[in-house]
Structure 1
Amino acid sequence: MTTPANNGLYDDPVNPIFKPSTFKLDLSRAALVVVDPQNDFLSPKGVSWPFFGESITENDTVKHIEQLFIAAKSSDITVAVSPHYYYPVDHNWNFGGPLEHVMHDIGMFGRLGPLTVEGFAGSGADFLEEYKPYILDGKTIIASPHKVYGPESNDLALQLRKKGVSQVIIAGMAANLCIESHLRELIEQGFEVVVVRDATAGPRIPEGDGYLAAIINFRFLAHALWTTEETIRQLRSEI
């Protein structure tokens, strides 16, 4: 993933300590999980684009996520989306971490209420338009919203278990936040988890490079760390 922009910053080490991954994809028990494929992350009009746009553009994240949707649908594996929504009542929480405060302050993932879709279409909380054919096909699982970063507060794991899934290919946003949190929790829940490294992105802010932080931890935690190209090749080879 060396580019002129990152100058090899995210490349894997030449002499790693960890043994090569022995993960083997089994389509009969695999799922693609896409986290937060929403406008506020992935659209240039989204409220977080000033923080994530550079990384999204460099990784070609939007295109790669769509390619994964297409490949997963062609392979007929389970596809699930874990979205992030905030309702007016959520803005009355008594405490939160630094990024939580930012998300609330900029109105990220805002919806008018849990039982209404008024104002939802085309909003920052809505799915990216080009993904809707794959998400709204009546087959994709749309989990209940996670509220901070991980899936502990939604029904994603339940939905996957009910489909007999024990392997998860994970992509979406954001690398060091919801993707890493989903990775950690799904591992704790007993799933094998592959992260698609160029189908995500991270913030670049004075506090640090979120994508670099995530890539380091993905190497430590994920059962495999693939590119979109590698993932599609694996999906097709199993058909």
Structure 2
Amino acid sequence: MTSARTDFFAEPSAPALPVTGIRLDPARTALVVTDPQIDFLSPAGATWEIFGGSVTDNDTVLHIGQLLEAAKASDITVAISPHYYYPSDDAWQFGGPLERYMQKVGMFSRRGPLVLDGFADSGADFLPAYREHILDGTTVIASPHKIVGPESNDLVLQLRKRGVSQVLLAGMAANLCVEGHLRELVEQGFEVVVVRDATAGPRLPEGDGYLSALINFRFLASATWTTAEAVAALYGH
């Protein structure tokens, strides 16, 4: 990133909004990661052309990995909210620009909800670097969300059943699924800290999705932390 872009995304030197002073309580905290999948985070993924620059600039892949490692070491709940599409979803009769794009490039495509044929190392699969933590038998893998928010999956139920009321939120993509999850979790009564360098957004003629999300994170989240701050908070307990 150039210095101009770094300044562009910098935290305000004199913020007008009050600081919430949130402190994590490990007994009721979860790390939630949205869409840590190949189609978003790998050069081999279907969307690397529009997300790769932001993923690279934020060092997103490394930062998500650091959060997973720290969360596991701290023994807090870890939940993944994935994104899958099945052949039956091809019958949808309408969709917004994002949905049409995802359908066009075949994002998160699986052969069916009850089969894993062809899943391994496909765009819908988890990034290989994360599988050790995600597939350890204790991580919550929620049912798939279908657009951007968790309203259509069981993430909130899974968190409530574990006594979670604070969420560290990271993953892909900043102005889409991360922001969608942030908004719904806040509406559901959770305190949410967004880890701002453990996400990334699309860069298109329509705008920079990461910048769009970062502004909204500052208005809506209990805090926006760097990965280093989040990891320090987890290990501090």
Common fold, TM-score beyond 0.5? yes
Paired with 2:152 and 2:130, the residues of 1 have a C-alpha distance of 24
Aligned match of 1:48? 47
Question: What's the counterpart of residue 138 of structure 1?
Answer: 137
**Cα distance between partner residues in 1 of 2:137 and 2:20:** 34
Alpha-carbon deviation of 1:5? 6.6
Find the counterpart in structure 1 of residue 11 from structure 2.
Answer: 12
**Equivalent-residue separation in structure 1 for 2:227 and 2:90 (angstroms):** 36
Give the fraction of aligned pairs with identical amino acids, expressed as a percent: 65
Tell me the alpha carbon deviations over residues 80-137 of structure 1, each in whole angstroms, 9 at most, x when there is no partner.
0000000011121011110100000110000001111000000000000010000000
Query: Which residue type is aligned with residue 8 of structure 1?
Result: D
Deviation digits for residues 175-196 of structure 1 (CA, Å, limit 9, x no counterpart): 0000000000000011100000
Tell me the equivalent position of 1:215: 214
Aligned length: 237
Please say if 1:171 is aligned against 2:165. Answer: no
Matches within 5 A, 1:1-239: 3-4=2-3, 6-238=5-237
Displacement after TM superposition at 1:7 (Å): 3.6
Gaps of 5+ in 1: none
Q: TM-score when scaled to structure 1?
A: 0.97
* AA of the residue aligned to 1:131: Y
TM-score, structure 2 normalization: 0.98
- Name the SS for the 2:234 alignment partner: helix
Ranges of 4+ aligned residues in structure 1 off by more than 6 Å: none
CA contact (8 A) 1:5 1:58 kept: no
Shift of the alpha carbon at 1:210?
0.2
